[in-house]
Amino acid sequence: SDVPKGCLAVYVGEERQRYIIRAHLLNHPVFRPLLEESASEFGFKHSGGLKFACDTRQFEQMLLLV
């Protein structure tokens, strides 16, 4: 795997752009609505990395906030 320890792959937007982020970032309050929306849309059981329903521009803005 090319994902470093302590990180995870997430896939963002319709084009499924891949990002490698530190796992602890998912605990940040900025990500809570995104995680809830993704769980609603994709469910909890799926293979591969996390999938986020937002667009890449929105996701990158969220990364800048944290």
pLDDT number for residue 59:
92
The token pair that represents 47 in the structure block: 């293979």
This prediction's pTM: 0.79
Helix (H) / strand (E) containing 20? strand 17-22
Instruction: Please give the angle made by the CA atoms of 46, 31 and 29, to the nearest 5 degrees.
Output: 135
Mind listing the pLDDT tens digit for each residue in 10-21?
A: 999 888 999 999
Mind listing the pLDDT tens digit for each residue in 40-56?
A: 776 666 566 788 888 99
